[in-house]
Amino acid sequence: MLRVLRPRLTASALRVGAASQLLLPLPDGTRSLRTARGGTRRHKDHMARIAKLEAMAQEREYARQEQRRRVLEARNQPRVIPAFIRVRDLAKALRQPLDKVLKHTVIKANRRFHLKTKSHPPAEFRSVKHIVLPFRVAQEVAESFGIQVAYDDVEPELSNAVGCAEGRRQPVIAVMGHVDHGKTTLMDTLRKQMKAGLKQIAPYEKHGITQKINVCEAALTPDVKATFLDTPGHFHFFRMRSSAAQVADAVLLIVAADEGVLLQTEESIGAIEEAGLPAVICINKVDLLGEDGSEQVDKIVDELRSFVALQDCPVLTISGKSGAGLDDLKHTVWELVTGLADNRRLDALVGPETHAEGLVLESVALKGRGTVLRVLIKNGELAAKQHFVAGMIHGVVRNMRDAEGRDVKRALPGTVVDITYSNKSKNVDAPNEHGFFVLSEARAKQVIEQRELAMEFNDCLLPDEGGAHSRPDAEYTSTDADADDGDVPDVEVVSDEAEEEDDDVIDESDLIETKSIIVKADGAGSLTSIQDTVDEMSGISTVRLGIGNISTKDIDVAINGKCPIFGFNVKLRNREAKLATERGVRVILRSTVHELIEEITVFEQTDAEDADATSD
């Protein structure tokens, strides 16, 4: 019988390890321990594999330690919280159960959730999913858990853009004065001098009255252009004039020589003083004066000099209709603009790399184009397909037109463009007097979400009738039996007084009877002007405001509210007219704001049943 001799393990073999002794299969199925010449090479390969495994194990251990370190750092880092946050999202951000967060946040009374904290005005929410918390309240809740929070400000701000370079923008001049003092005619003459054949504005205005901000681009010199904002002079359009003054670099104050300083002239001077703007005084319509014209002009100038804001302003005599004195006007404005440029008042961030920002001057509903935003660009370069936010709108630029109605591919600082856009948000209310910011799509969504939450929270605020932030005074417990929204634990009021308290008895003699109306207008500026006047009428309340023609939705609201519809410069199409007639809805349409305001005033003073029910 053959014996297999096993070699003794020497010290060197022990150092190498049994793993280097390879068992190789033989043809007859037996095994033999072979330490042939190839054993050294195999041993080296095996040791290399072991070293690689040890290195991988070390890497895994390092990764685990690094992960533990980051987790510990994350726990110590402040949690980032925006200006407004839903209570569910706050619980997730703090990594705390929703039940515990609710205990620190709200009290439930009368099937409503009331904000518990006393550092903020009282608010009431319908359910847990409707609870929105401002940052200050969220911060207090986080501190109760021993967690630090940091404020995440997503709101963009004007003049806060970061661009590739600085440059000089086109100056913006606001044209202000009393109604019918020749502002729009002057702008038409300037445009005609710049380029013949351009469409005139004044001949097409209803009753010869400007009722929106018109834009005119005129050349002061062959190399320098300026953007003129022609503002309405009627007293109902105070906000438009004030808005134009806030965005302008200088003002042209137009005073008719045959009428002198009137009410809206003084109002315009007040806007100049409030905004701290340089101004040029233009005594217009001098062609209408007789032989004593110079004495009349001197009298007007003396009256204007009595205003502190106008004591150092240049005074020119012009005729916007004939063009007399316009060369001196352009030269004077150019000198004024040059001084602004020397003082770096016209500096702007320029270049396609800079996200555009500006101000919405007007929002208008146009046939075939939808809602159009008239935007003054302050910084950056605006182009098509860019995402933007303006008010509650998140949109994408589709098309742009300049002041003359020509399509343009880009808009530069100091220019005004009319923008058509695709609406990416659920909001349809056209913005006016809001900032216009080009942002990334993700950032734009964040901004709109925060603005929606802010509006939602403000709608839940209660009047502080009981003094300093009055709230239901009750203790609370947590119970799963009355869970709100599925498995969300509720916050129950233990005190019976809050549940059984009767509603306050209101003396009917203290109530002021109000009449409801619906108002539609062709633009946001006009709508705002009408609303400002209506708000001062104690007997009128608006149940619906909108831009564009009268719609079936307006008729439905009027039917349910038993109220009339007042429309400024909008149309009542046949289908809506038939529906209004069938359901007895009163529709009053007017082409000027002051006529519409007069109709609303008559409605306020007249019993609704005795009013004329015919549609105009």
Q: Is residue 309 part of a domain?
A: yes
- Parallel, antiparallel or unpaired: strands 565-568 and 587-590: parallel
Q: Verify that 175 and 298 share a domain, yes or no.
A: yes
What DSSP assignment string belongs to 530-588?
HHHHHHT-TTEEEEEEEESS--HHHHHHHHHHT--EEEES----HHHHHHHHHHT--EE
Q: Verify that 185 and 122 share a domain, yes or no.
A: no
Q: Is residue 469 part of a domain?
A: no
Instruction: Please check whether residue 213 is in contact with residue 525, taking contact to mean a CB–CB distance below 8 angstroms.
Output: yes
Q: Verify that 384 and 482 share a domain, yes or no.
A: no
Q: Is residue 244 part of a domain?
A: yes
Q: Verify that 178 and 192 share a domain, yes or no.
A: yes
Q: Verify that 390 and 313 share a domain, yes or no.
A: no
For residue 68, what are the domain limits? 42-75
Q: Give buried/exposed letters for 197-221 (b at 16+ CB in 10 A, else e).
A: ebeebbeebeeebbbbbbbbbbbbe
- Parallel, antiparallel or unpaired: strands 476-484 and 407-408: unpaired
Q: Verify that 134 and 234 share a domain, yes or no.
A: no
Confidence band, pLDDT 50/70/90 cuts, at residue 21: very low
Q: Is residue 12 part of a domain?
A: no
pLDDT at 482 over 50: no
Structure tokens at 589: 């349409």
Last residue in a domain, options 286, 321, 347: 347
Per residue in 34-69, pLDDT tens? 444 556 777 777 788 888 888 888 888 888 887 777
Q: Verify that 227 and 305 share a domain, yes or no.
A: yes
Nearest Cα to 357, choosing from 447, 427, 279?
Answer: 447
Q: Is residue 555 part of a domain?
A: yes
Instruction: Please check whether residue 178 is in contact with residue 263, taking contact to mean a CB–CB distance below 8 angstroms.
Output: yes
Give dist(CA 589, CA 586) in Å, integer: 10
pLDDT at 240 over 90: no
Q: Verify that 424 and 568 share a domain, yes or no.
A: no
Q: How far is CA 53 from CA 45, 60, 370, 406, in A?
A: 12, 10, 67, 71
Quick one: how far is CA 525 from the chain centroid? 16
Q: What is the CATH number of the domain that holds 522?
A: 3.40.50.10050
Between 138 and 6, residue with greater pLDDT:
138
Phi-psi region of 431 (alpha: psi -120 to 50; beta: other; left: phi over 0): beta
Give dist(CA 183, CA 254) in Å, integer: 7
Q: What percent of the chain has pLDDT above 70?
A: 79
Q: Is residue 18 part of a domain?
A: no
Q: What percent of the chain has pLDDT above 90?
A: 41
Report the pLDDT value the prediction gives residue 87, as an integer from 0 to 100: 94
Confidence band, pLDDT 50/70/90 cuts, at residue 284: very high
- Mean local confidence (pLDDT), 427-431: 71
Give dist(CA 329, CA 316) in Å, integer: 7
Q: Verify that 199 and 128 share a domain, yes or no.
A: no
Mention every residue, 6+ apart, whose C-beta is less than 8 A from residue 595.
none
Report the pLDDT value the prediction gives residue 609, as an integer from 0 to 100: 47
Q: Verify that 83 and 47 share a domain, yes or no.
A: no
Instruction: Report the mean per-residue pLDDT for the chain.
Output: 81
pLDDT at 409 over 60: yes
Q: What is the CATH number of the domain that holds 233?
A: 3.40.50.300
Q: Verify that 218 and 342 share a domain, yes or no.
A: yes
Q: Is residue 19 part of a domain?
A: no
Report the pLDDT value the prediction gives residue 373, as an integer from 0 to 100: 92
What DSSP assignment string belongs to 461-500?
B---TTSSS------EEEEEEEEETTTEEEEEE--HHHHH
Between 52 and 477, residue with greater pLDDT:
52
Report the pLDDT value the prediction gives residue 246, as an integer from 0 to 100: 87
Between 409 and 431, residue with greater pLDDT:
409
Confidence band, pLDDT 50/70/90 cuts, at residue 505: very low
Per residue in 578-616, pLDDT tens? 999 999 999 999 998 989 999 999 998 885 445 444 445
Q: Quote the number of domains for the chain.
A: 5
Last residue in a domain, options 282, 317, 347: 347
Q: Is residue 14 part of a domain?
A: no
Per residue in 211-226, pLDDT tens? 888 898 888 988 889 9
Helix (H, G, I), strand (E, B) or coil at 97: coil
Last residue in a domain, options 347, 372, 391: 347
> What is the side-by-side order of every strand in the sheet holding 225-230?
214-219, 225-230, 172-177, 250-256, 279-284, 315-317
Give dist(CA 409, CA 411) in Å, integer: 7
Per residue in 552-561, pLDDT tens? 999 999 999 8
Per residue in 305-317, pLDDT tens? 999 889 889 999 9
Per residue in 70-116, pLDDT tens? 766 666 678 889 999 999 999 999 999 999 999 988 998 888 898 87
Q: Verify that 192 and 282 share a domain, yes or no.
A: yes
